Amino acid sequence: MEAFLDFFFGEFLVTGQPLIYGAMVSIALGSITVIAVLTYFKAWGWLWREYITSVDHKKIGIMYIIAAIVMFVRGGIDAMMMRIQTSLPGMTFLDSQHYNEIFTTHGTIMIIFMAMPFLIGLMNFAVPLQIGARDVAFPFFNNLSFWSFAFGLALFNISFIIGGSPDAGWTNYAPMAGAELNPGPAINYYLLGLQLSGIGTLGTGINFIVTILKMRAPGITMMRLPIFTWSTLITALIIVFAFPILTVALALMTLDRIFGAKLFTLAGEGMPMMWANLFWLWGHPEVYIVILPAFGIFSEVISTFARKQLFGYKAMVYAMVIIALLSFLVWVHHFFTMGAGGGVNSFFSITTMLIAVPTGVKIFNWLGTMYRGRITFETPMLWALAFIPNFVIGGVTGVMLAMAAADYQYHNTYFLVAHFHYVLIAGTVFGCFSGLIFWYPKMFGHKLNEKLGKIFFWLFMIGFNVCFLPMYFLGFAGMPRRTYTIEPEWMPLSLTATAGAFMMAAGFAVFVYSIYYSFRYAERETQGDSWGVGRTLDWATATPIPFYNFATLPEFDSKDAYVGMKDKGETTYDKSKVEEIHMPSNSGLPFFMMLALFIASFGLVWEWFWMAIPGLIMFFIVMGIRSFDYNEGFHVSTKEIHEIEQAARGEDSK
């Protein structure tokens, strides 16, 4: 018993940190509140039926987005703590170990559990609508993907109260992350959390490729696809070829740490550099996975609010294809200084700079789309407009980093930190905000308040520049990244950066408030084309969107399908053409399948095989049950369709 208590309070729970006690208390209070509210409103059954087991791409998309926003808050709190610690010399807010853990969880969470799921959520919501489909190709697997992501997220996030957070950076380099230098469960959380959520990402990739290739409405040819859908297709292709590399890399390090393999170790002639290579072979394509969909969103938003067809559609598509191919050929630029020869560095230097070319093409296409457009400045458009100059700063400094010889000067400094935040925030995060505000009325039946949205935009956008622009200069001044304490000469700029971070946090708080405010007071949408200028099929549906999306669809003969429909006076409800609709049934199996893998992974994290093996067996049992599940879905009768459509369109049902 005593041994157990020793283990429980000595190793299992993270103790001795006031910040973590605070976190534990707030997590406990938060969970109790959620459970109490759900119980009070008798909402458990509703939650289970309508969301947890849902195969509806719209609901799955919304669940992804909610999880991503929660993770943005978690990652954001990490960021604020780092900025506080590095605002003044001699700060003792965080010690060095705690700082290491926090930049690791911040980076990992922001990329894997915030940026990617946010975009996947928007894809889930919008892509089937844009191509005129009733759901994705594999709705069951879509739910499975979500739960794989959600349980991966849970596994990664519990580390900081149970067992301790990973602390080897989001890049998790060997040998520092190996078992000799880093014993204990922390790094295992990283490995298994990412492994678990990676299954879902791969599933999403496959799902969207098949959906886009096979489920387009008649007349929506490949070269008439909305550009966000194109960007999703290309992203999905990158996922399918890049994620297996991560799967392998994580598995190999798991073998090293838990089963004594010698792949990335110093002993037994292992090769730590192999980890760096594998990680970035996945890692660079990964950054395109989180930027291409954002490009797609900006393209939609810009052409919508400029009221013009996208300029250079074909060039946009080819540019994305080229970016996708090149993204697999640049990985060494992440470690120019780690021992590759001059020839190798030159090669990767050039391929990296080449990527700037298609990216530049896209920038000119956006400018060309706006040229002579009748632009209005709704909040989604503001984010898209802010994206262009800010992203260009990030892109140009990226080309600076691509010059291998010069990189020796500023690699591993705040110059790099500034660069990747300029592309990740001005690109991905602005894109997520833009897309969320853009599609919000279709998701929830009301817009977000525009005035609060503008306050949010200006605070966040200016704060972002105040925070990250000084970091370029801090980098030139020699401030290394991942340093927990600063020299006095860096203080003015570093303090400025912290002030900027607080501005961003304030902006985000306004956003959160605007969700509540708009829920209470915003006007309810009565028609489908929320902004009045929609161009693609997502705006052709009624609001709220019927669960089967489209009752009927006309035959299309041009791009920007909904523009054509509006010209011809067509809708997605042609009374004479309504037929029975076949829809897939919900299923609780994915939840249990992934719960089983969660248990197995948690067991592996602690090297408890008595827990890991039953978890795995449970997983295979649920898989077997699924194999025998011949559920054929259900049919929606024409009568029901007429009722739903007429109610949504405010017509009397006769």
Contacting residues toward another protein, per CB under 8 A: 134-135, 137-138, 202, 205-207, 209-210, 213-215, 240-245, 247-249, 251-252, 255-256, 259-263, 265, 267-271, 274, 278, 281, 579-582, 620, 624, 627-628, 630
Q: Kindly state whether residue 362 participates in binding Cu ion, applying the rule CB under 5 A.
A: no
* Binding segment toward Cu ion, per CB under 5 A, in 91-99, 216-224, 277-285, 579-587: 277-285
Q: Kindly state whether residue 284 participates in binding Cu ion, applying the rule CB under 5 A.
A: yes
Q: Kindly state whether residue 57 participates in binding Cu ion, applying the rule CB under 5 A.
A: no
**Contact between 205 and 288 (Cβ < 8 Å):** no
Minimum CB–partner distance for residue 333 and Cu ion (Å): 5
**Contact between 68 and 117 (Cβ < 8 Å):** yes
**Contact between 351 and 330 (Cβ < 8 Å):** yes
Helices (H), 16-56: 18-40, 44-47
Question: Which residue number, 79 or 306, has a Cβ lying nearer to ligand HEM?
Answer: 79
3-state SS record for 291-303: CHHHHHHHHHHHH
* Binding segment toward ligand HEM, per CB under 6 A, in 75-83, 215-223, 297-305, 341-349: 75-83
Question: Which residue number, 230 or 548, has a Cβ lying nearer to another protein?
Answer: 548
Q: Kindly state whether residue 134 participates in binding Cu ion, applying the rule CB under 5 A.
A: no
Record the tokens describing residue 511, joined without a space.
């956003």
Q: Is 56 helix (H, G, I), strand (E, B) or coil?
A: coil
Minimum CB–partner distance for residue 136 and ligand HEM (Å): 25
Q: Name residues contacting ligand HEM, limited to 164-193 (CB under 6 A).
A: 169-171
* Binding segment toward Cu ion, per CB under 5 A, in 174-182, 276-284, 364-372, 391-399: 276-284
CA atoms of 33 and 51, how far apart (whole Å): 19
Question: Which residue number, 79 or 537, has a Cβ lying nearer to ligand HEM?
Answer: 79
The site map against ligand HEM for 402-441 (x = CB under 6 A) is ---------------x---x--xx--xx------------
Q: Kindly state whether residue 334 participates in binding ligand HEM, applying the rule CB under 6 A.
A: no
Closest CA to 354 of 391, 312, 319, 317: 319
Q: Name residues contacting ligand HEM, limited to 473-502 (CB under 6 A).
A: 481-482, 501
Assign residue 317 a region (left: φ > 0; alpha: ψ between -120 and 50; beta: otherwise).
Answer: alpha
Q: Is 162 helix (H, G, I), strand (E, B) or coil?
A: strand
CA atoms of 32 and 18, how far apart (whole Å): 21
**Contact between 234 and 569 (Cβ < 8 Å):** no
Minimum CB–partner distance for residue 515 and another protein (Å): 34
CA atoms of 189 and 252, how far apart (whole Å): 15
Question: Which residue number, 74 or 284, has a Cβ lying nearer to Cu ion?
Answer: 284
# residues contacting ligand HEM (CB under 6 A): 25
Helix axes 379-402, 414-423, angle to 10 degrees: 140
CA atoms of 18 and 124, how far apart (whole Å): 40
Instruction: Please return the burial class of 458, using the count of CB atoms within 10 Å of its CB with bins 0-12, 13-18 and 19+.
Output: middle
* Binding segment toward ligand HEM, per CB under 6 A, in 9-17, 163-171, 306-314, 379-387: 163-171
Q: Is 230 helix (H, G, I), strand (E, B) or coil?
A: helix
Minimum CB–partner distance for residue 76 and ligand HEM (Å): 5
**Contact between 282 and 246 (Cβ < 8 Å):** yes
Q: Name residues contacting Cu ion, limited to 315-344 (CB under 5 A).
A: none
CA atoms of 333 and 351, how far apart (whole Å): 9
Q: Which does 620 bind (CB under 5 to 8 A by kind): another protein, Cu ion, ligand HEM, none?
A: another protein
Question: Which residue number, 383 or 550, has a Cβ lying nearer to ligand HEM?
Answer: 383
Minimum CB–partner distance for residue 424 and ligand HEM (Å): 4
Minimum CB–partner distance for residue 55 and another protein (Å): 13
* Binding segment toward ligand HEM, per CB under 6 A, in 101-109, 210-218, 318-326, 335-343: 101-109
Instruction: Please return the burial class of 179, using the count of CB atoms within 10 Å of its CB with bins 0-12, 13-18 and 19+.
Output: middle
Helix axes 139-158, 57-85, angle to 10 degrees: 20
> Given the rule CB under 6 A, which residues bind ligand HEM?
76, 79, 82-83, 103-104, 106-107, 110-111, 115, 169-171, 417, 421, 424-425, 428-429, 467, 481-482, 501, 504
